[in-house]
Each structure stands twice: as structure tokens, then as C-alpha cells.
Amino acid sequence: MTLSEIANGKLAPRTGIKLENISKSYGNHVVIDDVSLDVEPGTVTALIGPSGAGKSTFLRCINLLERPDSGTIRVAGHTIEPGKVINAKDLAALRSTVGMVFQSFNLFPHMSALKNISFPQQKVLGRSKEEADERALQLLERVGLKDKANQHPGRCSGGQQQRIAIARALALDPSIMLFDEPTSALDPEVGLEVLAVMRELADDGMTMIVVTHEMQFARDVSDTLVVMADCKIIEQGDPKAIMSDPQEARTRRFLRAVLER
Amino acid sequence: MNWLIEWAAYLPQLMSGLGVSLMIAGVSILAGYPLGLVLSVMVGAKNLAVRTLGLAVVEIGRGAPALVILYLFYYGLPKFGIAFESITAACLALSWNAAAYSSEIMRAGLQSVARGQHEASAALGLSWSHTFFRVIMPQGMRSAIPGLMGVAIQMFQGTSLAYAIAVPELMKSAYNIGSQDFNYLQIFTLAGICYAAISMPATWITVYFEKRMARHA
């Protein structure tokens, strides 16, 4: 079975997401300036750009961890306008459709790996403990960590923790996965284990939006490359095309900096 | 030698007082900690009215000496037709005290939980109550344990104030015994030993927990 088949039980309908005119500022400080992004079902979008460009904030706007000041989010038949009051039903639908993986893993340190993955299923989806545990074990096995089921996160390496975090998000059957610099806190070698799991997910057809500095991953795995700078999307399109022939001077400068490192 | 013989004679009477002291301390902790948890959430609430109410209860409980609150409950409230038995008044006043002090310790503990824990819970779609009771509280309370044990010791020693409203606790028992034959020195020394016999081991346990936490932090 593939990762997403395990995650979804049966294959869930693939979902895309449309973000229209998203803006966000803290006081007078603009962080996202009228950004729109259309993500097709089953595609991988890599979001790159210099730090401070607003990539992570934009990603966090997608599942409303940050509340945009204005704009529209269309996902799975729901239309959410964050500038207005969001009803609980829409928020729940959004969060259940969209899974997220963080740079700092954010596993629950007082729970075993198994419980980290099993507990949200029971509370959010109302699954029985047996069902949730079984699903958790399947996912742990798939990310190569079945033997860590009863360990607490503190006893796992960073790469292992991140793979557990991916399993935790997948266990809730998301149709879209957000990754916020998932390998930035990891040693390069350890990051590879995490990237391997992500490649597999992408191969399975999971819709993914990945904020990353891993240029090779962005080039080889993503279908769309989005370059953000100064709170806006400055360029987007085929990753290989942009990397070999960037149209914008700002993109060129950024790519030179990361590729010639 | 004489003292030991006298102490042995006084001890049974004193023990009933110690029992009352422990009971009042126990009640004020059992009532005060849950109330303290509620207050710690109220003080952090977004709603201004809820936050103000929480802050008022905490600041009065911490700002006013326990004896003043004790007197207010026992001598003050009857003015509004609310009269308590002395022991009830002592339990209520010290519960407030325990709630106010423990709420600040719990709030510090809850705030020490990493922001990412809230974010991960939100991203997973966990409800407020599941996030609070299953994710945040277990982590926040861990770091609050030593402080809360300190408050418990403070509460136990604070029960001696109930002497002032004639609660038959340890101090009152000691005073009664002393006034019979004016052996105040012996009896109050024994009373001090009784307080220390409870407080000191409790302090050691607290220190042990603090060290353990520091090691696992």
C-alpha cells in the first residue's frame, strides 16, 4: 500500500485549493500583499524565496493559523473569507482537509509516538482507540518507525520526530498537506529521510504545498515553483524553467545565492 | 527530661489540633487549586470582563493579608446576613488565598508551554478543551508542581492564622494547654516542632521535584 492509501483508507478525492487576494499585516507592517495562488489537485507546489518574504506566513494563512486581513480561501466546496467572521463548521472543514508539518515538529512531548498519532484521530474524527492505534501503527511502519511506537518524542532523533509528525498529520486523512520548512531544523543527512517520505507522498498524488530551501527537492519533485519576495509572488511556473532561466532579477539574485552555496 | 515528659502528656491534646490544621490546609488546597486553574485561564482570557474579574480575585487574594480576608469572612460577612462557623470561614479564606497564589504559578506554567504546541493542536483541528486539558495542561502543570507544593506548605502554616477566629487548630490547642499551667515555652516549642515535622519533609520533597525537573528540562 502507498502512503496516501494508508492515510486515506481508501483514496480520498483529490482536492486543490484556491487562494485569492490574501493580505496580512501586523499594524503598519505588511507581510502578505495581495497574494493569489491556485493549487491544482494532486500537484506539489514549492514555495521558495529569501527569508522575510512572507512564505511561512502565507502558508500559515492557508489553514488560518494566521488570520489574513482579507482575501478568499476556496477548498473542498467551502468558501472562507478570513476578513469576516468564520463559522466553526467552515474552520473545522478547512482544518480537516488540510494537514500541516512544522519546522520544529511540534510533537506532543508527553505522549508516545503512537499516542501522538492516535489521540487526534480519536478526538477529531471520533475513531475508536483500536481503530486509531491500528492506523497509527500502519503509518509508523510506512515511515519506517514502527519500533518507535512506544517511545516519547524526546527519545527520537529530529528526522524521526519529523516523520512521526508527518504520520500524525496523515492520520487525519487530509487531502492537502502543508510543509513549513520541514527539513530546516535537521542535519542534511537526516533531512534526506524526511524528503524521501515527502517524495513518496508526492508520488502517491497528495496535494502538497512546501515552503523549502531544498532546491533539489523543489526542482525534482514539485510541479509548480512559486518564488516569493517582499510579501508578493514575483514569479511562478515550471520549476526547471524558472531555475534555468529566471525572468525576474530578484529571482535570479536569490537563485544564485542558494545554488552557488 | 522534664520537657519530654510534659510533651508526652500534651501530645494527645495537640494532635487533635494538628488534625484540624491539616484538615483546613487540605480543604483549602483541594478547593483552591482547581479554582486557581480556572483563575489562571480567566486572567489569560481575551474577554475583558472575564479577565478583569479573574485579575480582581487574584490580586485581592494575593494582595490582602490572609488574616484580613479571614476577618472579613468571619466578622465582616455577618453584616450581610452571611454567617459562617469559624472553621468554615477559615477554609473559605485560605481557599481564596491558595487559589490566588496557585493561579499565578499555574499561569506561569501554562505560558511556558511552547507556542508550537498550540499551533499543532489548532492545525490538527483539536477543540479548545482537548487542546487545553490534553496538550497544554499536562505540560504546563509539570513545571508548576514545585511551586504548587510550596503553596501547599504555605497554606499549612497559614492555618495558624485561624487561631485568631477561635478555630481549634494546632495553635489554639497549644494556647489552651499553655494557659492551664503557664508552660508556654514548652508547649509552643512542641507546636513549632509539629509544624516543622510536616513542613520540612514537604520542603525536601519539593526540592527533590525541583531538581528532578531541572534535570529533565
**How many beta carbons lie within 10 A of that of residue A150, not counting itself?**
10
Q: Which residues of B touch A170 (CB under 8 A)?
A: none
Measured between CB atoms, does A108 come within 8 Å of chain B? Answer: yes
Q: Please give the Cα distance from B25 to B55 (Å, whole number).
A: 24
Q: The complex's ipTM?
A: 0.90
Instruction: Using CA atoms of A216, A221, A224, A230 in order, give the dihedral in degrees to the nearest 10.
Output: -40
Average pLDDT over residues A240-258: 91
Write out pLDDT tens, residues A66-85.
999 999 999 888 888 887 88
SS3 at position A135: helix
Q: From chain B, which residues contact A within 8 Å (Cβ)?
A: 114, 116-117, 119-120, 122-127, 130, 134-135, 138-139, 142
Question: A45 is written with which cell numbers?
Answer: 507546489
B22: left (phi over 0), alpha (psi -120 to 50) or beta: alpha
Fold topology of B2-216: MetI-like fold (1.10.3720)
Q: For residue B34, what pLDDT is reported? A: 95
Question: A18 is written with which cell numbers?
Answer: 484556491
**pTM for the full predicted model:** 0.85
Domain ranges of chain B: 2-216
- CA nearest to A21, candidates A35, A39, A31, A38: A35
Q: Do A110 and B142 touch (CB under 8 A)?
A: yes
Test the B interface: residue of A106, A107, A115 with most B CBs within 10 Å? A106
Q: Please list the pLDDT of chain B residue by residue as tens digits (217 residues).
A: 577 887 888 888 888 889 999 999 999 999 999 999 999 999 988 899 999 999 999 999 999 999 999 999 999 888 898 888 899 999 999 999 999 999 999 999 999 999 999 999 999 999 999 999 999 999 998 889 889 999 999 999 999 999 888 888 898 888 888 888 888 888 899 999 999 999 999 999 888 888 887 765 5
Q: For residue A6, what pLDDT is reported? A: 60
Q: Which residues of A touch B119 (CB under 8 A)?
A: 65, 102, 106
Instruction: Please say whether the dihedral angle defined by the alpha carbons of residues A68, A70, A75 and A77, taken in this order, is positive or negative.
Output: positive
- CA nearest to B94, candidates B140, B35, B138: B35
For residue B117, give how far its alpha carbon lies from the nearest alpha carbon of chain A (Å).
6
Choose among A109, A169, A172: nearest Cβ to B139. A109
- HEC letters along B82-97: CCCCHHHHHHHHHHHH
Question: A51 is written with which cell numbers?
Answer: 527569508
Write out pLDDT tens, residues A206-215.
999 999 999 9
Q: In what order do the strands lie in the sheet with A78-80?
A: A29-39, A17-26, A70-75, A78-80
Q: What is the average pLDDT value for chain A, to the nearest integer?
A: 90
**How many beta carbons lie within 10 A of that of residue B48, not counting itself?**
8
Q: For residue A78, what pLDDT is reported? A: 82
Test the A interface: residue of B46, B115, B117, B124 with most A CBs within 10 Å? B124
Distance of CA A19 to the CA centre of its chain: 15
- CA nearest to B58, candidates B97, B109, B26: B97
Q: Which residues of A touch B123 (CB under 8 A)?
A: 63, 65, 95, 98-100, 102, 169
Which residues, at least 6 apart from A45, have a Cβ–Cβ distance to it below 8 Å? A37, A39, A208, A209, A210, A222, A223, A224, A225, A226
Eight-state DSSP code of residue A65:
S
Instruction: Using CA atoms of B141, B145, B148, B152 in order, give the dihedral in degrees to the nearest 10.
Output: 140
Residue with cell 532546491: A215
Q: For residue B41, what pLDDT is reported? A: 93
Does residue A13 have a pLDDT over 70?
A: no
Does residue A119 have a pLDDT over 60?
A: yes
- CA nearest to A183, candidates A213, A204, A157: A213
